Amino acid sequence: MIGQTLRHYRIESKLGEGGMGVVFKAHDTHLDRPVAIKVLQAEAVADPERKRRFVQEAKAASSLNHPNIIHIYDIDTAVSPQGATDFIAMEFVAGTTLDRVAGRKGLALGAALNYAVQIADGLAAAHAAGIVHRDIKPANIMVTEQGHLKLLDFGLAKLTEVEESDSFATTLTGKPGEILHTEEGTIVGTVAYMSPEQAEGKKVDARSDIFSFGSVLYELVTGVRAFQGETKIATLSAILHREPKPFSEIAPSVPHELERIIMHCLLRIALAASSTWKM
């Protein structure tokens, strides 16, 4: 798509690719500024009702004005002889994703706490507005050269959900029935950061983001994932049935109070009993 134009956005280069689509750097010819364009996969928006819910939530996310949340400029469809292309235009952030910043050894304690505060601030603002991210993970967090952090992809996980009308229906992170399949490769998204509710295909709320936040912070300060298996199914089983290794075994220098906060985020009882950030 390099060199093509979607509405008034001229595609300049490819920035990355994920399960929901491809991200490009583009130039907004109307306002003369750089933007990031996420071109959504056709199958992600094939269901009209699912697309409607996504657009509704993305509009809500675009109303958020917070320094730690990427700003959404536009949601549109460009029609060409090759067909229709659904895309999102958003703020362009020069930097790299948190997973690349942290690497395999994690971060120094000061840096990890700096990022943790920014993640929590962004999530708190979204939750206060009734918006749940659903896919918090290091790859969805951008870090600028100045160390400023931006949460990406608010609302995109909505495209992978199936929502029923009754109050007891489940909200899945994949197609109906996929979550309980034991066949490798059927789970949508990065399962290592999913909350137990997501892993079981249950309805999720802000508490699910808190669990994922705890998983991210655990990894930042220890250098290892809180939940990890040899396969996706094994990782889901670990999330549902195991506790993360105690810090004394892998990172004894981490302050006890910080360990307490992280483990509180990861407690199953905390998800069931509280929807606040109070520790």
- The three-point CA angle 132-202-20 to 5° equals 55
Which residue type sits at 164? E
pLDDT tens by residue, 185-211: 334 447 899 999 888 888 888 999 999
Q: Which residue has the tokens 């603002």?
A: 125
Region 58-72: mean pLDDT is: 88
pLDDT at 154: 79
Residues 87 and 104 in one domain: no
Q: Decide if 279 is inside a domain.
A: no
| H-run or E-run covering 220 | helix 206-222
pLDDT at 161: 62
- Final residue of a structural domain among 41, 74, 91: 91
Q: What is the pTM of this model?
A: 0.83
Number of H helices, E strands in the chain: 9, 9
Region 37-45: mean pLDDT is: 85
Q: Decide if 278 is inside a domain.
A: no
| φ/ψ of residue 97, rounded to 5 | -80, 155
Range(s) of the domain holding residue 54: 5-91
Asked if 192 and 99 touch (Cβ cutoff 8 Å), the reply is no
Region 233-260: mean pLDDT is: 94
Lowest mean pLDDT among 10-19, 105-114, 218-227: 10-19
Region 60-66: mean pLDDT is: 86
Asked if 259 and 244 touch (Cβ cutoff 8 Å), the reply is no
Q: How confident is the prediction for the chain on average, in pLDDT?
A: 83
**Identified catalytic residue from 135, 153, 166, 205:** 135
Is 74 tagged catalytic? no
| φ/ψ of residue 151, rounded to 5 | -85, 130
CATH number of the domain that residue 25 is part of: 3.30.200.20
pLDDT tens by residue, 159-169: 666 554 333 33
Which residue type sits at 132? V
Residues 34 and 115 in one domain: no
